[in-house]
Amino acid sequence: MSTPPAGGLSRRSFLTATALGAATLATSATLAPKAHAYTGAPGPVLGTVIDYSAGVPSAAAIKAAGHLGAVRYVSQRRPDAQWMKGKPVTLAETRAQAAAGLATASVYQFGRASTADWLQGAAGAATHAPQAIALHKAAGGPTGRPIYIAIDDNPTRAQYDSLIRPYLLAFSAALRAAGYSTGIYGNYNVIEWASREGIGSFYWMHDWGSNGKIHPRTTIHQLPQNRQATIDGVVVDINNVYARDWGQWTPGQRPAPAPTPVDPGAAIAPQDVLSQLSSRMGGSSLTPQQLQGGIDLLTTIGKAVR
């Protein structure tokens, strides 16, 4: 999802550097459509949204390019990636987009590759979820909306079971406690595994490891690198939208109803939430440190939103 410049090579770097150096992209807002043999699309494409981290295109330029809005980072730039001048999203940006008739959705991703957020498992949510919520709120994001949790990888099932599932469950519990829904950014397999287990209600799919398939639960589909565009001097990813509700919001909008709790009508203590998470982890229990960290996190969030 993140696109570092040449010198910090990643799975996106080479094509991005090429795109930045290509004169034909320097002033273009969109790339010419190219055919891709995807299978399993959930329905017709209802429009497009963009995501970006190297800078912030103007709302007018995004509107002129024909997009519905943008999915934006509610996370800080990494110390080794100061080129990410588009992180995090700001209130000024979301207000400008709203004034142009555009909407925003929120995504959290700080690390990547060897520092991927999910590598910390359930304990990682104690650090990441409060940051995501705070930055979402600071940018004008209301409750009742999802925050996408990024799994920007092609993980094995063993990695999902041992680390990603606990990370998603703990992060999702923290979001729910604060009045938000859960979105997941991942490939076909991550969406398949998570959705089958009832984790998440919005799904943003990327192609890495998806083998040409679009998951039928996909809300947004990030198109491949050769469909990137340059808008207002910033390289952006293009995403097809398959649902009228793709997690979008505008600053100042009335908060949506809070998500349905795990046990409707019951007051759930943090210890009970973490116990439910542990029981849903396929027999893999939370460590005492993870359990206490999760309890502390949920207690803090619960006090903040009361």
Residue 69's nearest CA partner among 171, 139, 15 is: 139
> Which element (helix H / strand E) includes 103?
strand 103-108
H helices, E strands: number in the chain:
10, 9
Q: What is the pLDDT of residue 260?
A: 52
pLDDT, one tens digit per residue, over 225-258 is 999 999 999 999 999 999 999 999 999 888 766 5
- The pLDDT value recorded for residue 287 is 53
Output the CA–CA distances (angstroms, integers) from residue 275 to 233, 286, 288, in the order listed.
48, 9, 12
pLDDT by 10-residue block (mean), the chain, 306 residues: 45 35 33 58 96 98 98 95 95 98 98 93 94 98 97 96 97 97 98 97 96 96 96 98 98 72 38 48 48 54 42
pLDDT at 78: 92
Task: Please report the domains of the chain, with CATH numbers, ordered by start residue.
Answer: 13-262 (3.20.20.80)
Average pLDDT, the chain: 81
Check residue 253 and give its pLDDT. 83
